[in-house]
Structure formats: structure tokens, C-alpha cells
Structure 1
């Protein structure tokens, strides 16, 4: 297997919105995938990636795959989510974090990780790590719950979803 190479925006499908922050020093041997929380964009995590200033680690901040309609946000600012659908918890009057992650897992694990990072750019799964916040943390846990052996997952404020646990979660 040849050495990993720095991924380029052109390696990814144009349907994905993402930014790539190269390593601060050294050759890129690790990938850190950053997934924002419900109602945000990838831009704050792009800033975080620059502030982390990680050696030998490429940071990829990916924007949620689905826009949240302004009807739910009350704002014209762009807002995105990782779920398969926008579900509203009527008891709380809020968007439900646990909206299923089938499409996100397919896009991130299948396309971003397997097709681009592993096949095109030569990264082993063990060198791919995840950092997610809120719903992005739930998505990261869902992506990592597979037969591939990833380097690690940090989920801040996001639990394993019921779909990740096979319906065993009762929250």
C-alpha cells in the first residue's frame, strides 16, 4: 500500500460541502472528521480545525447533508442536520436529535471514508478519527458502528442513536 496523500476537494462528490485543513507539520498520516451539531454549518468546525493545529493530521469538516427549513429555525441563516428526516418532539417542541442516520452513514462511511479516504488517498481505517458535537456526535457514533476498525470517536453531547443500538435505546 502506498503512503497516504492529502485529500483534495476535487476527490469528493460536489454534493458534499466540506473543508480540508492540512496538517500543521509533517506528512498527513491521520484524518480527523469533524461533524457539527444540529442547526449549524461546517464553518465553526473549520475554524476549530485550524486552531487545533494538529501535526500529521488532516482535518475534514463536513456540513450536514440536509438543510433545516427556516420554518423550524426562525432564521434565514443556513442550518443543517445529519438525520434522515426532521422530526419534532412534540413534548419538548424541539427538533428530535435522533432522526435516524442511514443516509449519513451511507454518504460518510461509504463515499467519504471508503471510496475517497481509503481507496483514493490510501488511509487505513485505523488512522481515521471522528469528533462530533450533539447530533454530529450521534452521527459519528453511527458511522463508527461498523466492521471497520477506526482510530477513535469523540462525541460531545451526543449519545448513540436508537438505530445504532438496534432499537435498544429508550432514552
Structure 2
């Protein structure tokens, strides 16, 4: 048994710059306390923008957590994706008609988005020196509506390939039949929280019970997936409902790793090897 002085590493990580991956638009914000131990990756809803979502992430004020808000790569007809907003897979045709999420164009669009996001995370979140390659459990995904669907798909797909994120939160977003991958014969579990309102006009109660059943059918351990039904909530982002905010914060706080900076700074603390 040998004693070694405890070595501390830099608290902040190299910021993710737009020039590193021009195929996607995104906003990156380092942790407000200067310690980028964790990272929360945000996926906005259909027709929204990453600039709005990064502000939401900052307002969460999570300790030791950088914020990365990605813009959806799927354009919406008659909308400027850079200035107005975008999506993650086709939802409307050029005449404004709905494209069902279970249709072939939507599923093909999701697969294209998945491949692009995996490439982005591998090259920008993991591969760069000093980021999160050694600690994928410190990477968390959060999405709303269509962005929640993509967050779930990404979490399952990466877990299937051996990269288990710390957790995935989807607010009012579900996978449709044919989306996502099964973890039943994979070696990884995935912690998931889906927040759903019982007054959601986009996904009414008559539909989300079936969607929950489908999601659980993909899980290696269904107990790692929690569905929180919020009374009175519509199809909306987390806001003033205390129960909803508490559920989300409890999910994150129970899984995020936080460094004890005071302990690391003590000169008489040693590591046993």
C-alpha cells in the first residue's frame, strides 16, 4: 500500500467551439461555478431554437455542469432554421400537412439525425482532450417533445453500443413504434425519466399509456425507466409546477457526480493506491 498526494485536475474543460463541427448549430455554456464535472445536452422541441434552450439550461443552475444546446438539423418548410427554428426529423410537408412520426420519412429522418448526433458526441464531447471520454456517466440528455424523442433514441442507441450516459430526461416526448433500439440483450442499463402531463393535448392520456408500454419493452431493466404524470400539465416545458421541477432535480441530483473541491485543495490529503 502506497500513499500519494492527491492530484487535482483543471476544473473547467475546453469549450466546444462551433468550428469543431459545422454540420450542426449549437450553443455551449460552461458551468456557472467553473467546474465542468458534468454536461447536460439539450434537445429543443419542434420549431424551437438552441439559443432559447441554452438559456433554459442556465436557469436550471445545476452545480458543476456545463450546458450544450443543439439545434435540430431537420428544416421545417417556410422556416429559417438559423434564425427561427427547426426540428429533428420531418413533421410537416411543404403544404403544411402533418407527417406522422411513425411514417417512413420520419423514421429515415431520425436515423439520419441519430448518425449525425453520434458523430458529434464522439468527436466533440468525447474525443477532444480533457472532456468527457472517460466519464460518459457524467453526460446527461434532456429533450422536450420531438427533442425528447431524440434524447430517448440517442440514449438507447449509445447504451446499445456500450456508452451508457448518466441519464435521459424526456418532457412530453415519446418514441413511436420503430424508433429506438432494444437493450434487452445489451450489457448496459439506462436511467430514464419521462415527464408527462395529464392535460397534454398533443399526447393525450389515451395515447401515452401505449407509448409507455412500448418504451418499457425496449429496456433491459424496466425498473430503470420512470414515468412521472403531472396533474394539470399540458404540452409544455417545465415551469412553475413544483412537483415536476422536483422530479427532474431529484433525478439529476441522484445521478450526477460532484467533486469535493475543498477536500481536493487540502495539502495533507493523500490517495491510497
Distance 1:97 1:42, change over 3 A: farther
Matched, 1:30 2:38: yes
1:82 corresponds in structure 2 to: 88
The counterpart of 2:137, out of the listed 104, 126, 138, is 126
Higher relative contact order (CA 8 A, sep 6+): 1
Q: Is the 8 A contact 1:38 1:97 kept in 2?
A: no
TM-score in terms of structure 2 length: 0.52
What are structure 1's unaligned runs of at least 5 residues? none
Q: CA deviation at 1:95?
A: 4.3
How far 1:110 sits from its partner (Å)? 2.1
What displacement does 1:62 show?
A: 0.6
Q: 1:10 to 1:65 in 2, by over 3 A?
A: closer
Q: Structure 1 residue 17 and structure 2 residue 25: aligned?
A: yes
Pairing 1:39-58 to 2, within 5 Å after superposition: 39-58=47-66
TM-score by length of 1: 0.79
Find the residue that maps to 2:142 and give its secondary structure: strand
Structure 1 residues 124-171: Cα deviation after superposition (integer angstroms, max 9, x where no partner) = 2111101100000000111111321100000011112322157xxx86
Structure 1 counterpart SS, 2:115:
helix
The structure number with the bigger radius of gyration is 2
1:164 partnered with 2:175: no
Secondary structure of the corresponding residue to residue 127 of structure 2: helix
In 1, distance between residues paired with 2:100 and 2:19?
Answer: 33
Over aligned residue pairs, what C-alpha RMSD do you find?
2.4
Count, aligned residues:
156
User: Partners in 2 of 1:151 and 1:12 — Cα distance?
Assistant: 24
User: How far is 1:12 from its partner?
Assistant: 2.8
Q: Which residue in 2 is equivalent to 1:154?
A: 169
- Output the CA distance in 1 between the equivalents of 2:52 and 2:164: 28
- For the 8 Å contact 1:35–1:136, the answer to whether it is kept is yes
Q: Give matches, 1:66-145, under 5 Å.
A: 66-70=74-78, 78-83=84-89, 85-86=90-91, 93-98=97-102, 99-100=106-107, 101-111=110-120, 113-120=121-128, 121-123=130-132, 124-145=135-156
Unaligned runs of at least 5 residues, structure 2 = 1-8, 183-209, 212-273
State the SS of the aligned residue for 1:103: helix
State the partner residue of 2:192.
Answer: none
